[in-house]
Amino acid sequence: MRKGFWKDFRKHRTLLIMALPAFLVMLFISYVPLAGLALAFKRVEPGAGLFSGAWAGLDNFRFLTSGRGEFGVMARNTVFYATVFTALGTCLNVLAAVVFDRLAFRRAARVLQTAAVLPAFLSWAVVQFLVFAFLDRSSGIINTAFATRFRFYTESGLRYWPAILTVVWVWKTLGLGALIYTAALSQVDPALYEAAQLDGAGALRQVRHIALPALRPLVILTLLLAAGRFLRSDTGLHYLVTHNIGKLYPRTEVIDSYVLDALMKNSYSGYTAAAALFQSAVGLVLLLPGIAAARRLSPESALL
């Protein structure tokens, strides 16, 4: 085996050289920082390096057992948004994809879908201003249209933010998400639909029995990926759009936005590192049974 390996090696030397640059980039950008996970077990002072500092055992993980407190709120928000976004997002993506796929006016479908995808390609740095244009107390579109004086960006607006963040997130992701599903639907043999129609199946029936099953593998894959990233969030949404307003944290702060804030204010600690490790750990824990379940539900998917 060893002899064969080295012969292979030289024969494919060029291939290795070709793969090397990207390999190195990934190694240094994605793999080396994994060493930093060790920080979760050390006493970290802002300004300290990665190898300095004493070991702190499991001290940094106290937040997990202390019940409520800041982490409790953060975690609750993270889980809430992850669940809502995944469930709602997937349903809406599927629905939107079916709409675009079944629309008989093909040119309209193409144009409208292109328009719907645009928000995905706007930076959150831009989106925060767009949201401001709607939510501002005096000049916002919502307040001027309904002649109200909602102060969304203060404590009194706190209870609206789950809805606000959800709407903004759907706005940003629906177009591109639906596009992926639409592409999957386009793979379906049109003869299936014709046959169903001849058998007397109405449009809704056709969708239920042809389109939806066709999307099943992709939905499963989406849910799987979401499981692996369960405790992660988009900081563009939770940090920028909310303008990182502290008063809104009870409804808007998630683990990722907390970590970003700590980094920006240089106030990170071992607790920060522990929270980050916790995220990855939970993701992995959810992923493994997730893959097993996905394999059983979707045996034809070659990716798994």
Partner 1 sequence: MQTDLHSAAYPPRRRQRGPGQILLLLLALAMAAFSLAPVLAMLTAAFTDDNWILDHGFSIFPSGHWSLNGVRALIRYSPQLWTSLAVSLGVTAAAVCLGLLIMSMYAYASARRGFRLAGFLGVFALLPLVLSGGQLSEYLVFTRWYGLGDSPLLLILLASVSAANVLVLRTWILRFVPAELTDAAEMDGAGESRTFFRVVLPLMKPALAAVGFLLAAACWNDWQTPMLYITSPSRMPLTAVLVRIQSSIDFLLNSGSVPPADLEGIGGFIPPFSTTMFAALISAAPVLILYPFFHRSLVRAVPFGALK
- Of 52-91, which residues contact partner 1 (CB under 8 A)? none
299 part of the interface to partner 1, by CB under 8 A? no
With respect to partner 1, which residue has the nearer C-beta, 19 or 68?
A: 19
CA angle (90 as vertex; 87, 93 as ends), nearest 5 = 145
* Chosen residue from 78, 268, 282, 294 binding partner 1 by CB under 8 A: 268
Interatomic CA distance for residues 104 and 210, integer angstroms: 17
Residues touching partner 1, count (CB under 8 A):
108
Part of the chain binding partner 1 (CB under 8 A), chosen from 53-61, 67-75, 76-84, 276-284:
276-284
**Which residues inside 6-35 make contact with partner 1, applying CB under 8 A?**
8, 12, 14-16, 18-19, 21-23, 25-26, 28-35
Site for partner 1 in 146-165 (CB under 8 A): none
Among 53, 162, 250, 283, the residue binding partner 1 under the rule CB under 8 A is 283
d(CA 276, CA 95): 34
Can you tell me the distance from the alpha carbon of 298 to that of 184, in angstroms, rounded to the nearest whole number?
15
**Which alpha helices (H) appear in the chain, and where do they start and end?**
2-11, 13-26, 62-65, 70-102, 106-117, 124-135, 141-145, 161-185, 190-198, 203-206, 212-228, 235, 249-252, 255-264, 270-297
Q: Which of 192, 262, 293, 297 binds partner 1 (CB under 8 A)?
A: 262
The Cα diameter of the chain in Å comes to 80
Is 96 near partner 1 (CB under 8 A)?
yes
Least spacing, CB of residue 250 vs partner 1, in Å:
21
Provide, rounded to whole angstroms, the least separation between the CB of residue 79 and partner 1: 18
Amino acid, res. 266: N
Find the part of the chain contacting partner 1 (CB under 8 A) among 54-62, 70-78, 155-163, 295-303.
Answer: 295-303
Given 59, 73, 79, 136, the residue binding partner 1 (CB under 8 A):
136
Alpha helices in 229-264 (DSSP H): 235, 249-252, 255-264
Q: What is residue 55's three-state secondary structure? A: strand
DSSP for 147-196, written as a single string: T----TTSGGGGGGHHHHHHHHHHHHHHHHHHHHHHHHHTTS-HHHHHHH
Binding track, positions 241-260, relative to partner 1; x by CB under 8 A? --x------------x--xx
Per CB under 8 A, 216 contacts partner 1: no
Q: Which of 254, 273, 282, 294 binds partner 1 (CB under 8 A)?
A: 273
Please identify, using beta-carbon distances, which residue of 77 and 279 lies nearer to partner 1: 279
User: Residue 16 Cβ, how far from partner 1 at the closest point, in Å?
Assistant: 7
Distance CA 233, CA 254 (A): 7
Question: Contact with partner 1 (CB under 8 A): which of 91, 133, 163, 195?
Answer: 133
